[in-house]
Amino acid sequence: MSYLLYCIFRGPAQPSPGMPPGVSGKPVFVLSQNGLSAGLSELAESDTDPDVEKLLAYEAVIEHFDGPQTVIPVRYGCQMKDTSEALHLLERHRDEYAALLAELEGLTEMGIHVIPDRSRPGTESPAEPAAPQPVCPPCESGAAYLAAKRQHYLGLDRAAQRERSLAEELWTSLAGLYVRRKLR
């Protein structure tokens, strides 16, 4: 049996009576180690690939913990093989987590997901390129092959630059409303 990690927070708090069920209806519990705690639930092998329902349940648990205290939310899929691994994680990163919790005090994490307009040519994301095309269908020489590869990677670079430019525009328009930003 493995466990799904939801979030890390200060203190030995236990889930309150209003705690929503975890992923696939599993009960959420708290483990504490040296002033830090982690919210976890059992994780079935079938729950490792998220769907909308699982992600919403995961988010509801994090929001529940985040209400009365500052939390470090963890991305879906952080799996602990047993409870001792979770306790070891809290112990090993105690100073790092404590510093991050102090920095996050009174703040809330938000995210903006930008979905590229695929209806316009040249709007593929480097993370999600269009269907693979042969680099050089009937390459007659090594030079032709390398030139085709170069064009392929230049296209990916241009797409990444467009994404970066869009992110910069968003950051500028939201200036003063955030403490920290991260582009993925």
User: What would the pLDDT profile of 136-177 be if each residue is shown by its tens digit?
Assistant: 566 678 888 888 888 888 888 888 888 888 888 988 999 988
Pairwise CA distance, residues 184 & 174, whole Å = 17
Name the phi and psi angles at 120, rounded to 5: -95, 140
Query: Which of 70-74, 91-95, 132-136, 177-181 is predicted least confidently?
Result: 132-136
- Where is pLDDT greater, at 64 or 48? 64
Q: Stretch 59-77: mean pLDDT, rounded?
A: 90
Q: How far apart are CA 7 and CA 158, in angstroms?
A: 37
Q: How many CB atoms lie within 10 A of CB 174?
A: 12
Whole-model pTM over 0.85: no
* Side-chain half-sphere exposure of 28, counting CA atoms within 13 A: 27
d(CA 61, CA 28): 8
Predicted confidence (pLDDT) per residue in 74-90, tens digit: 999 899 999 999 999 99
